[in-house]
Amino acid sequence: MKKDIYVLGTGLSHNGSSVLLKNGRVLVGIEKERLSRIKHDGGNDSLTTEYCLKAAGIGLDEIDLVVQCENFVIPSKNEFKGPRVFKNYPDEKFVSISHHLAHAYSVIGTCPYKKFNVLVIDGCGSPYDQCNDENLPDLKELNLNFSDGLICEKDSYYHYDGTKLHTLFKDFSPLNTQKSPWLPTTNHSIGGFYSAISHYCFGNMDDVGKLMGLAPLGKPEIQHEAFYFEKGRVFLSPQWDQPLTTPAHHWEGFKQNRQHYANMAFWAQREVERAVEYILESRLKGETATPLAYTGGVALNAVANSRLIRKGVVNQLYIEPAAADNGIALGCAFYGWLEIVKGKRQIHDGSTCFGSSYSFSASKETINTLKNCSIKELDEENLLEQTARLIADNKTVGWFQGGCEFGPRALGRRSILANPSNRSMQDHINSHIKFREDFRPFAPSILPEELHNLFQDKLNSPYMVLVDRPIDSAINQLAAVIHVDGSSRTQTVEKEWNPRFYKLLKTLKKHTGVGAVLNTSFNKKGQPMVEKPEEAIDLFLNSAMDALVIENHLISKQSFVY
């Protein structure tokens, strides 16, 4: 019998994570924030490594290879922001790879295409002298030299021919060394620019998703061009930050000048779309027959992604669901399997749900916590029927199923669900369940076969990284999941890897006439998505959520009878 081969990939920058492959397929993966309960947590990887080992039921001595990545340094096997679990295993084989290479291999491992181009755009990658890519450009050709300071990856473009990754173009930029808080990345970073405006509006560089939600409330009053373009490269203008005159230092300040910040978000979104489109047109040079795989934090900008498709800049587009740094561990693992172990590339099943499963254990402590609730254990048919009826009756339902999603989007494993036709649900969930800003939109999760009945562009979007526009006759059916600009960030639910969520939508369609549900991540403001049942129960009990489904158990605050 052949020995199983285990490869562990681990990312140690912000949005840290670990992923374990068994014979070239994802066995388990987890983001550190889900375990530490600190959003965007990174650094030391002991928590995530131990989680993967426990889920796999193996010891560290059974790991054949560890591949790691951190943005600026090569971490020690024994120590990185605290002791690492590898310290007592001196024979563990360790490999370090650079940032954009890890991003690229995350799509090589998960992309459904055989041959494709790869685009990476993010905030900041590895320093030039730590890059593992073949055919690195001569810095003189980019008018750069080491006297400029630390030179780091800005965007990268590759071709994967089915067996090997070829570097086609890489751009670099000096790391920003000014004391201005606006750009703590490279001097000409698209992702860094967007993070800077997030920091300006919300006081937090990591709220870029929130910025995308705010942008449609803005007006095109800022005409200043943040970027200029030259010979296929994108640069920030010398006076790019001229409009940044009144940063919001707290929520009250934001509310008092809300329209200004909305206008800033509108401007930032427009400028990012312009820059990304230029890069792609420059790289593709009109050749759109070859599929494109897209990753890096900027690839999570669903509005920009959809614009590329609508304008015909790209025809076949795969976007890595964990495109930000949480996907680095995935790329490390696949690099190890393909390039070090020399394993065969396996076609991924499309799932992003790499976490461990939990059963609902009704201990005495749990029963006491839920003493004022109804708890029912149901077979699947009755569970789906009663859950669908609750949603159709305008109740909010926490939905906790199987292993958690890997990446920033709730795709039907750690979700809060509601009736998409009830317009008041947006305010209710934002105010009384998630306790977050009132402008934050929600997504519709839909049956793929319903696309033609509901949306104009009919974009297949299993990972919630594209936006579409409802057709006129569907606007009332989707009132709670249409943003102020008439768009919706959609998820088309895949039956193959999300079967119970798919069945729920089929059941819901019988009650509402539409195969769609309002879906938002199972968390409240400032917290990661719930990982364990007790975290789901805590939010359920301390919010206005009406019911909670954990595997086959339906828990409600009143005894709903159907």
Which CATH number characterizes residue 285's domain? 3.30.420.40
Q: What local confidence, expressed as pLDDT, does residue 182 receive?
A: 61
Q: Is the pTM of this model over 0.85?
A: yes
The predicted-structure confidence for 146-162, as pLDDT tens digits, reads as follows 887 899 999 999 999 99
Q: What local confidence, expressed as pLDDT, does residue 263 receive?
A: 98
Same domain membership, residue 382 and residue 414? yes
With beta carbons less than 8 A apart as the criterion, state whether 527 and 37 touch.
Answer: yes
Same domain membership, residue 389 and residue 249? no
Same domain membership, residue 76 and residue 14? yes
Is 177 part of any domain?
A: yes
- pLDDT band of 368, cuts 50, 70, 90: confident
Length of the chain: 562
- Percent of the chain at pLDDT > 70 equals 97
Same domain membership, residue 539 and residue 400? yes
The predicted-structure confidence for 323-350, as pLDDT tens digits, reads as follows 999 999 999 999 999 999 999 999 999 9
Q: What local confidence, expressed as pLDDT, does residue 148 receive?
A: 79
With beta carbons less than 8 A apart as the criterion, state whether 135 and 164 touch.
Answer: no
With beta carbons less than 8 A apart as the criterion, state whether 459 and 306 touch.
Answer: yes
Choosing from 306, 340, 374, the residue where a domain stops is 340
The domain in which residue 126 lies consists of: 112-319
Q: What local confidence, expressed as pLDDT, does residue 363 receive?
A: 60
Is 347 part of any domain?
A: no
Q: What is the mean pLDDT of residues 391-401?
A: 98
Is 296 part of any domain?
A: yes
The predicted-structure confidence for 465-474, as pLDDT tens digits, reads as follows 999 999 999 9
Q: What is the mean pLDDT of residues 65-81?
A: 95
* Number of domains comprising the chain: 3
The CATH number covering residue 461 comes to 3.90.870.20
Is 353 part of any domain?
A: no
Same domain membership, residue 307 and residue 408? no
Is 65 part of any domain?
A: yes
Q: What local confidence, expressed as pLDDT, does residue 250 receive?
A: 86
Same domain membership, residue 226 and residue 202? yes
With beta carbons less than 8 A apart as the criterion, state whether 155 and 294 touch.
Answer: no
- pLDDT band of 380, cuts 50, 70, 90: very high
Q: What is the mean pLDDT of residues 15-33?
A: 98
Sheet arrangement for strand 116-121: 165-174, 151-160, 116-121, 292-295, 317-319
Choosing from 273, 305, 340, the residue where a domain stops is 340
Is 428 part of any domain?
A: yes
Considering only the C-alpha atoms of the chain, give the largest distance between any 2 of them, rounded to a whole number of Å. Answer: 73
Same domain membership, residue 194 and residue 46? no
With beta carbons less than 8 A apart as the criterion, state whether 469 and 302 touch.
Answer: no
Same domain membership, residue 263 and residue 118? yes
Burial of 63 (0-12, 13-18, 19+ CB in 10 A): buried
* More confidently predicted of 22 and 178: 22
Same domain membership, residue 400 and residue 271? no
Question: What is the average pLDDT score of the chain?
Answer: 94
Burial of 355 (0-12, 13-18, 19+ CB in 10 A): buried
> Lowest mean pLDDT: which of 13-22, 185-194, 399-408, 452-461?
185-194
Cα distance between residue 8 and residue 21, in whole Å: 6
- pLDDT band of 446, cuts 50, 70, 90: very high
Query: What's the sign of the alpha-carbon dihedral 368, 370, 375, 380?
Result: negative
Is 508 part of any domain?
A: yes
Q: What local confidence, expressed as pLDDT, does residue 390 receive?
A: 98
Same domain membership, residue 440 and residue 545? yes
Inform me whether the pLDDT recorded for 479 exceeds 70.
Answer: yes
Q: What local confidence, expressed as pLDDT, does residue 177 receive?
A: 67
Q: What is the mean pLDDT of residues 490-511?
A: 97
Q: What is the mean pLDDT of residues 490-500?
A: 97
Is 345 part of any domain?
A: no
Same domain membership, residue 467 and residue 437? yes
Same domain membership, residue 465 and residue 438? yes
Inform me whether the pLDDT recorded for 199 exceeds 80.
Answer: yes
Would you give the distance in Å from CA 163 to the centre of its chain?
A: 27
DSSP H helical segments within 124-257, as ranges? Answer: 190-202, 208-214, 251-256
Q: What local confidence, expressed as pLDDT, does residue 203 receive?
A: 84
